[in-house]
Structure 1
Amino acid sequence: MVTIQEHPLMKKIAENRSSLTPKGRILGDYILKNPRKVVFMTTKELAAACEVSEATVVRFVGQAGFDGYSDFLQTLRDLVDTELTLADRVDLTNLNKPGANRFQQEIFREIDNLKQLYKSVDMDSVNEVVDRLYQSPALYIVGSRASYPIAHYMGWLLGKIRQNIRTLKGSDTACIDCLTIAPADTLVVIIATSRYPNELIRLAKHVRRLGQKLVVFSDSALCPLNNFATLKLVAPSKHIPVFGNPTNITCLINYLLLELAGRYGDRLKAHQEKLEQAYRENDILFNLDTF
């Protein structure tokens, strides 16, 4: 795994240190030494910690190649998130802090995360993924660990829209068999969330070796599976989660499903009527009339 200090952003700060102003060097050194602190700081807080002006912070971020401080923080957030252990995440969130209104805090974090998704999502890529989901004869949806429930959710609902859907658990080695003998025109969708299980990275490599098309859904531009993707969709979160954050990816999936369903027209109705008949004949779902 690439460490924080090996990342291009941090290497750029270190390598360009000599060309920075004295105050810029102070900022750069502080960021290199304290990325986990900086990721939670405003421009005002970072300026105060380094005893420089906010204008100096803004100039520094621009010199680093970012459009603004929020873009800089998002990149730093993705770096820090990839490195954090479970214990680190608990320490960062002050779980033992008395009197914390965690419910309210969690709601506000989710709102922030959804705003980040709305601001950053690449709609051209999203619509191209909808095209692929519609055109591909067969779809295999893969997840592992925290991302498997999301993959199951997507695969389950895709089955309510179209045929030839399979959901695979990436931690099951039989997944290699299924992908190897899948039809050549299968579209594989892998959902990966930080901290990115190695089994999903291996599967992404395997899919590309087989020559199949691969779509990767992830929560960060730094996700290692993105390197093997035919298409990638990134649903970034603004906050670092303790145990995971499925909200943004799930929201993106819901949009994809709605767009996909709209393309099937009368075929969608026929497909769903067939399913509903099977539900009734086999007493699958609760029905008030028979209660």
Structure 2
Amino acid sequence: MSTLLLLAPAITWGILPLVVSATGGRPVNEIFGTALGTLIVAVIVDLFLRPTIDTKSFILALVAGAFWIVGQLGQYTGYDAIGVAQTMPISTGLQLVGTSLVGVVIFGEWSTVTAKLIGALGILILIVGVILTSIRDKKDTLSNKGNRGTIIMLVFTTIGFITYNAIPKALSDSGIAIFLPESIGMVLAVLVYLLFTRQGAAFRESASWRNIIGGVVFSVASLTYILSVRENGVNTAFIISQLSVVISTLGGLLILKEKKSRRELFATLGGLILIVGGAVITTFI
């Protein structure tokens, strides 16, 4: 059972980009469906398990869910612009770097000099991995300009993921108790996004409702990760969950048939190895 829980988050987070991309629609459809699907699952889980949570934790979890939308919208926009196989390793690497730095600066992790040196090495490896996965051939100037713009967008929207990952560390309640308020925050953030971008038509588009399946997949990943942490420990559960980037990247190449030149492919595979290696280093300090 512990092995299944260990692998389930990596598998489901890994296939989420593939499911959403295959389901179709624009990023606004994908983010709407994912948020709504997550809320549906969260309500069902809450009705059965009835976890308790205090008001402060509820509000902070709601804010965390809203920030998740920022990060996930960036990812979905990236899928549409440069593909899953390039977006996922860049986004994952940036999340790992940012989350590690937040852990050091705010939560006092890596307290010894040795830990800081090893952690800095891990972050450097992560950065090199991200750079490798972003390499593109210089055949198409217009395409490369669009690629740089998308990477810059991912850098800024990844702040949403970093905040989403950091807030639970400061909460008195954790795990399943914060899943419902997080999902409420997700839906509220999507509604605000639709209002301010004047994309209310997404409510009527079938692609938005089809993408509810993305929310179900995300929910399975999140819930099994919570259970895996309890069963296998934080470090082991986190490291194995990062294998999702390997699944999604290879899935983008093999299933979604995203094209890369020989040089780009080798750079991406090398970058993936470094990202997973950097994750191991920064987690097991």
**TM-score, with structure 1 as normaliser:** 0.28
**Pair member with larger Rg:** 1
Q: Which has the higher contact order (CA 8 A, sep 6+)?
A: 2
Please state which structure has a larger fraction of its residues in helix: 2
**TM-score, with structure 2 as normaliser:** 0.28
